[in-house]
Amino acid sequence: MNGGVDLKLPELKIGTKIAKVPIMQGGMAIRLSTGALAAAVANQGGIGLIAASGMSPEELRYEIRMARAFSKGIIGINIMFAAKKFAEMVNTAIDEGIDLVVAGAGFSRDIFALGKESGTPVVPIVSSVKLAKISQRLGAAAIVVEGKEAGGHLGTDQSIKDIIPDIVAAVDIPVIAAGGVLHGQDIADLINMGVSGVQMGSRFAASAEANSAPALKEFYLKAKPEDVVVIHSPVGLPGRAVRNPWAERIIEGPVPPTRCDNCLKACKHNFCIIRALSRAQQGDVETGLVFTGEYLPTIEKILTVEEIFQQIEAEVAAI
């Protein structure tokens, strides 16, 4: 299995890189998507992403080198435009020879210049025809289009299947659909709508290789559909999360940070998002912020990345 799987799905080409399987793994911060998860996905023929938000440049270098040591596949980073160290982290990744840069939580025009200089493909996350067209004009190698079903920061209240047709018609670059993609049927439906690939977050968050405490993975499996809520993030965007005591507290009103690391360009200070996400990653499911996609409750088991690809392969073959 290690050379990837033979899906009856198209290859995904971004710049000069070709993924045998058109699946990109979501870049889940803080530290859920590290080198181990990215390498495992790349080894199955997909695109593995390291979540750079909340890391130091040294830590990012370490994770990229680790992913490279364990995989010959495609490794990228995902970075929040809202992060203060955005440009520094992008430059660090480019310096390490990263295969592509995915940027979300806000829209950056500057990143295209950084990518152009080094020839590194830049893939912005967008949720509208307008930003899709701007991305293409500025030189994006591809775009990730995120619907309301996605986990974490949201740029739309529209379903992925409602926004995809107009965006696919508006641009000539590869479109990667994100939000609510968990099974072979989801992938087949979206490919049939004209996308070049999909991005999957929640399914890989609930994988053996995700860099999170067992308590967080167990918490995912207990989530019911009514537990999935939308909170207001200090980044200035709504975010999808699992209801827990912390989510209930911040829905009721602000919990201003006692210490501030000044990590965002503009912060609403209603709570500290980096610390809240870090607590969850370390297994504190009471006072941690557990970001999730809308359909997390349909995940019944923590699987290895290899098993996830095998399951998708079987589901696609059965269609």
User: What are the residues whose beta carbons fall under 8 Å from the beta carbon of 258, sequence distance 6 or more?
Assistant: none
Q: Is residue 73 included in any domain, yes or no?
A: yes
CA distance 296 to 50: 21
* pLDDT (mean) for 52-73: 96
Residue 122 lies in a domain: yes
Are 199 and 51 in a shared domain?
A: yes
Please report the pLDDT score of residue 304 as a whole number.
98
Question: Is residue 7 a part of any domain in this protein?
Answer: no
Is 6 a residue whose pLDDT tops 70?
no
Is 44 a domain residue? Answer: yes
For 273, list phi and psi in degrees, rounded to 5.
-70, -40
Distance CA 217, CA 316 (A): 26
The amino acid that residue 141 corresponds to is A
Q: Is the confidence at residue 207, as pLDDT, over 50?
A: yes
Residue 3 lies in a domain: no
The bridge status of strand 100-104 relative to strand 74-80 is parallel
Report yes or no on whether pTM surpasses 0.85.
Answer: yes
Residue 74 bridge partners (DSSP): 47
64 close to 38: Cβ distance less than 8 angstroms: no
What mean pLDDT, rounded, does the chain reach? 92
Residue 240 DSSP symbol: E
- Residue 288 binned pLDDT confidence (cut-offs 50, 70, 90): very high
pLDDT for residue 103: 92
161 and 227 in a single domain? The answer is no
Task: Give me 312's structure tokens.
Answer: 């998708």
Average of pLDDT values for 279-288? 94
Tell me, rounded to whole angstroms, the distance of Cα 110 from its chain centroid.
21
The answer, yes or no, to whether residue 300 has pLDDT greater than 80, is yes
The parent domain of residue 119 ranges over 12-211+300-318
Strands 152-153 and 143-146, sheet pairing: unpaired
Question: Within this chain, do residues 226 and 207 fall inside the same structural domain, yes or no?
Answer: no
pLDDT of residue 4: 45
pLDDT in tens, 89-106: 999 999 999 999 999 877
Predicted local confidence at residue 36, as pLDDT: 97
**126 and 179 in contact (C-beta within 8 Å)?**
no
Provide the domain count of the chain: 2
% of the chain with per-residue pLDDT over 90:
80
Identify the CATH number of the domain in which residue 113 sits.
3.20.20.70
Task: Quote the CA–CA distance of 220 and 296 in Å, as a whole number.
Answer: 7
Amino acid in the structure at residue 28: M
**pLDDT per residue as tens digits for the range 143-166:** 999 999 898 888 888 999 999 999
pLDDT value of residue 5: 44
157 lies in the same domain as 220: no
Q: Is the pLDDT of residue 1 over 80?
A: no
Let me know whether 46 and 160 are in one domain: yes
Answer yes or no: do 218 and 206 share one domain: no
In a domain, 56, yes or no: yes
- Per-residue confidence (pLDDT) for residue 157, from 0 to 100: 87
149 in the same domain as 47: yes
Residues 149 and 281 in one domain: no
